[in-house]
Amino acid sequence: MTAARTQPAPAGPAVDVRDVSRTFRLGSTEVHAVRHASLEVTRGEFLAIVGRSGSGKTTLLNIIAGLDQPDSGQVFLEGHEISRYGDRELTELRRHTVGFVFQSFGLLPLLSAAENVELALRIAGAGVRERGERTRELLELVGLTPRSNHRPYELSGGEQQRVAVARALANSPKIVIADEPTGELDSTTGAQIFQLLREVSAQGVTVITATHDPFVIEHVDRVLEMSDGEMLPEGQGVVVAQSGRARSGPAARERAQTSPPGSPARP
């Protein structure tokens, strides 16, 4: 499968968040959801943002995805400053550059698995033949070809989330945003979803997930933690400390195995 588009990628990181802040007002109270957050994500990286409920993870993901705009700071996706985009440009961004996976799956209940995936392609203007071929390709990728004609209520939670991943990949996005993708799944099924997202990132797609799942570190390249709206320095935080270290996912272990003895650790 070719998940990412084939045109040359611009120089620099896939995602570049610079000193972003976002405040909401609840009555007379100001809630500082994100405070001066900065991060860079390289192309094809699988990054997890962890933290307690209310730490600002979802707000930051929404800003990165163009679903919300920061009060201050800058956000660059593939070299383009989306924090300056208007509504039309943001719609195009979400249609072609970013794919979404949500905790609650978000499938249309009256459509089959295949129809849910195909709908994303129809909205993007793909032709009938392309829609059919791409839908079959994606359902095969997520292992659901035998269940393609089943509606959501006929699928398990894990199967529904696999359909959601297939739908997120329908338009060959460069970046996939997954907000608590295992929040409604048991630990075994959740691990399968993270492994699927790992396979997506191996195709060159940048994957960013926000999660409470303690097992996420086994699947990702890097873990960052948020607390009270702030992005903690890499390697710091309660979740990171309990799980070992910030860089202990598959890519970090691969780097450690291939580095010559005595060579310095790569960042």
- What is the per-residue pLDDT across 195-213, written as a single tens digit (0 to 9) for each? 999 999 999 999 999 998 8
Is 95 in contact with 103 (CB distance < 8 Å)? no
Tell me the pLDDT tens digit for each residue of 179-191. Answer: 999 888 888 888 9
Q: How confident is the model at residue 11 (pLDDT cuts 50, 70, 90)?
A: low
Per-residue CA distances from 9 to 3, 17, 47, 76, 249 (Å): 14, 18, 19, 13, 25
Report how far residue 42's alpha carbon sits from residue 207's, in angstroms, rounded to the nearest whole number: 10
Could you give the percent of the chain with pLDDT greater than 70?
Answer: 85
Encoded tokens for 60: 């930051």
- Contact between 47 and 209 (Cβ < 8 Å): yes
Main-chain dihedrals φ then ψ at residue 178, nearest 5 degrees = -120, 110
Q: Domain residues of the chain, as ranges? A: 11-97+173-249, 107-172
Q: Are strands 80-81 and 206-211 parallel, antiparallel or unpaired?
A: unpaired
- Class level of CATH domain 11-97+173-249: alpha beta
Say how far apart CA 260 and CA 222 lie, in whole Å. Answer: 22
Instruction: Report whether 17 contacts 49 (CB < 8 A).
Output: no
Q: In this predicted model, what pLDDT tens digit does every residue of 226-238 receive, in sequence order? A: 999 999 988 777 6
Residues 6+ apart with CB under 8 A from 128: none
Q: What is the pLDDT of residues 114-158, one digit of tens each?
A: 999 999 899 888 889 999 999 999 999 899 999 999 999 999 999
CA pair distance 112, 136, nearest whole angstrom: 13
DSSP state, residue 164: H
Q: How far apart are CA 178 and CA 204, in angstroms?
A: 16
DSSP assignment of 34-45 = EEEEEEEE-TT-
What would the two tokens of residue 166 be?
């297939």
